Amino acid sequence: MIYKIPLFDLNFDEKEEQAVLDVLRSKWISTGPKTAEFEGIFAEMLKVDHAVALSNCTVALHLALKLVGVKENDEVICPSLTFVATCNAIRYLNAIPVFADVKSMIDLTIDPDDLECKITAKTKAIVVMHYGGFACDMDRIMNIAKKHNLKVVEDACHGPLSEYKGKKLGTIGDVGCFSFFSNKNISTGEGGMLVTNNNAYFERAKLLRSHGMTSMSYERSGGHSTEYDVIELGFNYRMDDIRSAIGIVQLNKLEIDLDKRKEIRQMYLNELKGIENIIIPFEDYKEFSSNYIFPIVLKNSDIIKRDNVRKKLAEEGIQTSIHYPAVHRFSIYKDFYTELKITDYIVNNEITLPMYSNLKEHQVKTISNILKDIV
């Protein structure tokens, strides 16, 4: 189906095309100089010591948990209101995901109170997800982690350049992870980034992303090393220079893109103000956000009513989505099921409306007016 107003629009032009062409003509297309440049720019923008480019955010999460010492049968507290990769990374290490609820219908980030209640002697780490680019309560979470000697991994896949009290999301915990999937604020098709201020984590991440090898092909081709050793069982988690070149162009566009998203969010808030039957999460949020998505939650509703609203929007040519089906309700996670009252309501009644920097004011008005009529 072709929608009049899609959920997302890729912010690509001839600059991305030229970047790819330049890499192809350079004759070096795997991990090399463009990847190193991408990492350097990303680290500088986030004011973090180290950035390691990877093939996607899922592997970034896997490496992050491995770096902080999560092992088999350790417990890791995480949200269920997230993409399944956040929790799959825990299972890759044969660790146990312990699902925590979100704070409220307004704040869809992990609830520190519920999180702390679920800490046991087996708990090793906490994974937080900054939903939609809106920050978790990191002061409280970091204090809990310090109190119980736990590590914190930030899933910041929604939040490049988003802030919490002046700090960039992904740089507050022990390790931060970002996604460059095709519909993210920064798009490279597939791709991810791991960031940290810990030198030991950085050095080990570089080893683990490339089979545990002490040097990579580009280093050897430049004469910096003629041989290598393999000192740890690693993975093939590298990002190539083609995607890194696209990522550099995307970073150059990011601040303008986020400023436009901020304006579009305010348009939505103005247009949807006063509709009694919907909740707008993070409505009064004051920190800078990437505004990755624009979610609403229907009041006094259920999954049938929610799906009917989405169907009617689709009939009017407006694409919507759901962020997200609850992980704790997936068949593969049935052994870890727990009741999460707020999360369960949200996943049955949340609708994600179109959000991208090229969305026009008249389109926001159209979406809002049709939604008003429906609800």
pLDDT, tens only, 45-76: 999 999 999 999 999 999 999 999 999 999 99
- Dist CA 48 CA 113 (whole Å): 29
Q: Which pLDDT tens digit goes with each residue over 8-49?
A: 999 999 999 999 999 999 999 999 999 999 999 999 999 999
CATH 3.90.1150.10 domain locations along the chain: 255-374
Average pLDDT of span 110-136: 98
Residue 76: the pLDDT is: 99
- Sequence-ordered strand ranges (E) for the chain: 50-54, 75-79, 96-100, 123-129, 151-155, 163-164, 167-168, 175-179, 192-196, 278-279, 294-298, 350-353
Strand-pair category, 96-100 with 75-79: parallel
- Dist CA 241 CA 94 (whole Å): 32
Q: What are phi and psi of 278, to 5 degrees?
A: -130, 150
CATH 3.40.640.10 domain locations along the chain: 14-250
Q: How many residues does the chain have?
A: 375
User: Are 146 and 165 in contact, with CB atoms under 8 Å apart?
Assistant: no
Q: 302 versus 1: which is more confidently predicted?
A: 302
CA angle, 23 then 24 then 26, to 5°: 65
Residue 189: the pLDDT is: 97
Residue 215: the pLDDT is: 82
**Residue 369 above 70 pLDDT?**
yes
14-250, which class in CATH? alpha beta
Domain covering 255-374 in this structure, CATH number: 3.90.1150.10
**Residue 111 above 70 pLDDT?**
yes
